[in-house]
Chain A
Amino acid sequence: MLELIDVHARIGDTEILKGVTLTIPKGEVHAIMGPNASGKSTLSKVITGHPDYEVTSGDIRFEGESILELEVEERAHKGIFMSFQHPVEIPGVATSVFLKAAVNANRTARGAEELDAAGFLRSAKKNMKVVDLPKDLLHRSLNEGFSGGEKKRNEIFQMAMLEPKLAILDEPDSGLDVDALKIVAEGVNQLQTPERSVLVITHYQRLLDYLVPDKTHVFIDGRIVRTGDAALALEVENRGYQWVRDELGA
């Protein structure tokens, strides 16, 4: 589904990704763990096409096709979704207005019929239950005044509505307490299908207790240095990233 082939990327003059190679097949959950400033978030931004970043060499292929020339929204139309680490607020724009426009923009791009108001509400009600969001959230301005937990659950709710093929979850656990974390993980699990790939970027191992990855990759200094299964995540948690460095290092 998603292939990164020796991707080098930079922001301004600084190279952040220094040759990332990664393949995520359909239906699998992959986790990326790494210390601060390793480039983990950059990875998600580069895949989604953030204009500040430039891919200097290598390729990113989605379902066999290179997406490097595609704009942010075009990549979204292909079925790539990102749950943001810090979801932004848009005052005055009701969550429902925004989400209906997004859902329909994607439907139109796929050649599917747009949802009308009633259809949208039905779908929304169903999906809000998955992450235990209160109904009145739809009427509130997007993310404005939402608690940390609500913001993260709102991201998963949007994922449910948009039904992406690839879901990149950028530190979905940051700022959450254990209970909120469980809800987010459970939500992702419930929504998982054999057609969907998930790339979870996380700092701590705990989330992966609930959202169990098929593969774990350790990310250090802009590259994947080690790949393993769920057990690798536990090892890193117990021994720290320095251990990984040492193992590689000298």
Chain B
Amino acid sequence: MDEAREIVAQRGEYKYGFVSDIQVDKLPPGLDESVVRFISAKKGEPEWLLEWRLKAFRAWQKMTEPEWPHVTYEPIDYQAVSYWASPKSDDDKPKSLDEVDPEILATFEKLGIPLHERAALAGVAVDVVLDSTSVTTTFKEKLAEAGIIFMSFGEAVKEHPELVKKYLGSVVPASDNYFAALNSAVFSDGSFVFVPKGVKCPMELSTYFRINEANTGQFERTLIICEEGAQVSYLEGCTAPIRKESQLHAAVVELVALEDAYIKYSTVQNWYPGDKDGKGGIFNFVTKRGLCDGARSRISWTQVETGSAVTWKYPSCILKGDDSVGEFYSVALTNNRQQADTGTKMIHLGRNTTSTIVSKGISAGHGQQSYRGLVQVGKKALGARNYTQCDSLLIGSDCGAHTFPYVDVRNGQATVEHEASTSRIGEDQLFYLRQRGLSEEDAVSMIVNGFCKDVFKELPMEFAVEARKLLEVSLEGAVG
């Protein structure tokens, strides 16, 4: 068999997910207004937020699910999903790492996840683990000193309602699209970050560090705001494989960068991709958008997506402020029966705005991957510049890579560059590297890393190391 394909086919069974068999406080399946009211009441939300949810829900009821993406999946029965599950009580959690499935711990080891993070990832009750508590406490102190707000969305609604009210839905209005509307109606929790004027956040913010992380559920809502001159680097997700309770994951992330602000949002996602036949994996339908509101503001999206059965997301930037900058760096891997229709939208509105898109797609097995990008330059966006590079790497002959670039330019003073390439990992390349003494696995790894280099170098350091390992693990062959 084709050597390269054999290596990749062995990624095979997703050995690393784990499923909770503890009963949780859960709503029966079904979605109607009463469910929305229930969620809002459970979270003790103010009237204005309930109204906001209801408005979104009513809009959603009138919308139809889009069918244009280049993916196929079993129709989702929205009435068969439960929209609320309360967090597990500490009594049901493992008391220490000793009680955690050794296979999971082995994965953490393989992926090089730092020791102090493993406990939290394995769901160990946080206050039992002294390590993580002390790390988190110092962390929180530092942030408080700087005046940075970093807490769960639910907490932010209670403690900083004015801020939430001001910015929620300002980048992704509830009626924006089908899944955003659904999310706006039933979102469970997420992150809220606010960095005040002139403050550069002294450390990378990672969702792990939010105490009471618990089960944020399938409809996460995240809102990050940087005031003038502020900066933050936010890390979402981790390489550890996570199996969500519900198949549908429809999150919404809104970023707002005022003048001279810089938000860097990095994602590493390795959710359960389904079995070899593509059954049971997670649907990752996310709306992520950043608004470069002020002059010289900058938003960077960096993502490494290797999991989920179906991925459908377009982290985008609206370049409203003059001289603002939008960036999108992505590595997406589809193996076995995974499908991905992903890309970005760069909307140039202000003057002299710049956008950079580097998309690297790796397809293996029967994976299908599409890059869909929109570069839109408005009539008044004089001096706009875009550089797009989208490359596909195919491993084996049963996978597919597709590109749907849309370029819409409405003035004569714009520069838009688009480069694309498609290549295969050749038997020749593998033989060459092996003849120089490298093992099959190292050879595939080297070729793939070389391919992803331009994206990996944009990742925050700790993510870059994890991402490289993740790719290696994802492409692991059965050697011997």
Q: Using CB atoms and an 8 Å cutoff, list the residues of chain A in contact with chain B.
A: 48, 50-52, 71-73, 76-77, 81-82, 84, 87-88, 90-93, 97-99, 101-102, 105-106, 109, 141, 158, 162
Contact = CB atoms under 8 A, between A and B. Distances in A.
B436 A76 contact: yes
B438 A92 contact: no
B19 to A, nearest CB: 38
B199 interface: no
Interface residues of B, number: 25
A101 B429 contact: no
B447 A76 contact: no
Interface stretch (B242-250, B337-345, B363-371, B449-457): B449-457
A82 B435 contact: yes
Contacts of B432: 84, 87-88, 90
B67 interface: no
Interface of B: 3, 423, 426-429, 431-440, 442, 446-447, 449-454
Given A88-B429, A90-B429, A72 B434 contact: yes
A162 B436 CA distance: 8
Given A88-B428, A90-B429, A92-B453, A48 B436 contact: no
A141 B429 contact: no
Nearest to A143: B432
Nearest to B431: A50
A91 B438 contact: no
A102 B428 contact: no
A91 B449 CA distance: 10
B437 A90 contact: no
Nearest to A141: B450
Given A51-B3, A88-B432, A98-B446, A73 B437 contact: yes
25 contacts: A72-B431, A72-B434, A73-B434, A73-B435, A73-B437, A73-B439, A73-B440, A76-B436, A76-B437, A88-B429, A90-B429, A90-B446, A90-B450, A92-B449, A92-B453, A93-B447, A93-B449, A93-B453, A97-B446, A98-B436, A98-B446, A105-B439, A106-B436, A109-B437, A162-B436
A92 B451 contact: yes
Contacts of B450: 90-93, 141
A42 to B, nearest CB: 14
A101 B449 contact: no
Nearest to A106: B437
A51 B4 CA distance: 12
Contacts of A97: 446
A70 to B, nearest CB: 11
Contacts of A50: 431
A90 B433 contact: yes
Given A72-B435, A84-B432, A162-B436, A91 B451 contact: yes
Nearest to A103: B437
Given A88-B426, A92-B451, 8 more contacts: A48-B435, A51-B3, A52-B427, A88-B429, A92-B449, A99-B436, A101-B446, A105-B437
Nearest to A80: B435
A162 B437 contact: yes
B423 A93 contact: no
Nearest to A102: B436
Contact of A101 (B427, B438, B452): B438
A140 to B, nearest CB: 12
Contacts of B427: 51-52
